[in-house]
Amino acid sequence: MVRKKRNPEHYVDNAVFTQAVHDYVISCREAEDSGEDIPQVNDYIGECFFKIATGLTYTRKFIRRTYKEELIMDAVEDCLRRIRNYNIDASTRSGKPNAFAYFTQICYFSFLRTVERHNKELKKKLRYIEKTSIEINANPDLGDAQAVLKHLDDIRSPWEENETKKQEKKRKVKGLEKFAR
C-alpha cells in the first residue's frame, strides 16, 4: 500500500500575508503623504508575526532556551518597527514578493540579539557569584563556601565550553582569510 504525502498545512499563508503587508505599507505611504496618522497594524499581520516568531523558536538553535516568550515578544516588536521598511517592489527568484522570508529574517536576528543580551547578563551574574563566593570563603561564618564554589563551577562549565568553541571557530575562519583573496 502506497501512502500519499499530505500537503503540510502552513501556519502562515505566504500569499495572503504578503498581500496584507503590501496593502498596509501602501496605506502607510498614503497616510504620510496626506499628513494623517499612520494606521495601526491589523490583527492578521500581528498574528502572523507571532506565528512566525513562535515557529522559529522550534529550530535547533533556539529550542532549548528558557526565555522563549521574551524571544517571541522581542521579535514581534522588531517586526512591528520594521514593517514600514518592507520593499513592496522587491521580489525573489520566483518573481513574487516574499514577506514571510523578510520577517523571518527579522525575527532570527532579533533572537540573536536577545540571546547575546542574556549571555551578557549571565556573565554579570557569574562575576557577582564569584565575587560573593570569595567573600564567603574569606568569612566562613557566612555559609558553606565549598558548596557555593561547586555550584559556580557547574554553572560556568558548559557555558565556558561553548565560548571556547566559538573562539576556536573564529580562529579557523581568520586563518582562512589569506586564502580568500
Summarize pLDDT for 1-25 with one digit per residue, the tens.
Answer: 566 666 566 688 888 999 999 999 9
128 falls in which pLDDT band (50, 70, 90)?
confident
Q: Higher-confidence residue: 78 or 156?
A: 78
Q: Give Cα separations from 54 to 37, 51, 59, 73, 102 (angstroms).
A: 30, 5, 10, 9, 16
The helix (H) or strand (E) run that includes residue 74 is: helix 68-82
> What is the average per-residue pLDDT within 100-114?
94
Long-range contacts of 79-87 (CB under 8 A, 24+ apart): 79/49, 79/52, 79/53, 79/103, 79/106, 79/107, 79/110, 80/41, 80/46, 80/49, 82/106, 83/21, 83/24, 83/25, 83/41, 83/45, 84/25, 84/28, 84/38, 86/21, 86/25
pLDDT at 44: 95
Q: Per residue in 14-53, pLDDT tens? A: 889 999 999 999 999 999 999 999 999 999 999 999 999 9
Angstrom distance (rounded) from CA 129 to CA 116: 20
> What is the average per-residue pLDDT within 54-66?
91
138 falls in which pLDDT band (50, 70, 90)?
low
